[in-house]
C-alpha cells in the first residue's frame, strides 16, 4: 500500500537537496516514532524498511538512539529481582 504526503515544494526541495530520498526519510521517521511509542516491534520496523536481517534493523535503531530497554523496564526488573531475592531468603 502507498500513502502520499503533501508538503510545500520549497520544503520538499530543501529536503531533497540535503539528503535525497524524501519518501525514505518519511518512512524511517515513521518507523522510529512507532518503535519508540511501542506500536511497532523491531521486526515490524525491519519489514517496513525492507531490511534483510535483524542486524540491519538493530543497527538502524541504534543509529536513531532507539533502545528497546526503557527506564520503566529497568525499574520493573529491579522490583522483580527484589521479590525473587526476598522469596529466596524465606
pLDDT tens-digit readout, 37-70: 889 999 999 999 999 999 999 999 999 988 766 7
Per-residue pLDDT at 72 exceeds 90: no
What pLDDT score does 75 carry? 86
Per-residue pLDDT at 71 exceeds 80: no
Tell me what the pLDDT averaged over the chain comes to. Answer: 89
How many whole angstroms separate alpha carbon 15 and alpha carbon 47?
25
How many whole angstroms separate alpha carbon 15 and alpha carbon 22?
6
Contact 49, 29 (CB under 8 A): no
Dihedrals phi, psi of 51, to nearest 5 degrees: -70, 145
**Domain residue extents for the chain:** 9-89
Amino acid at each position: 500500500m502507498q500513502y502520499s504526503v503533501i508538503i510545500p515544494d520549497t520544503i520538499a526541495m530543501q529536503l531533497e537537496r540535503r539528503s535525497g530520498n524524501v519518501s525514505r526519510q518519511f518512512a524511517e521517521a515513521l518507523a522510529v516514532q512507532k518503535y519508540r511509542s511501542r506500536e511497532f516491534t523491531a521486526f515490524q520496523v525491519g519489514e517496513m524498511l525492507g531490511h534483510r536481517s535483524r542486524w540491519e534493523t538493530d543497527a538502524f535503531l541504534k543509529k536513531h538512539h532507539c533502545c528497546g530497554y526503557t527506564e520503566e523496564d529497568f525499574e520493573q526488573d529491579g522490583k522483580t529481582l527484589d521479590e525473587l531475592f526476598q522469596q529466596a531468603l524465606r
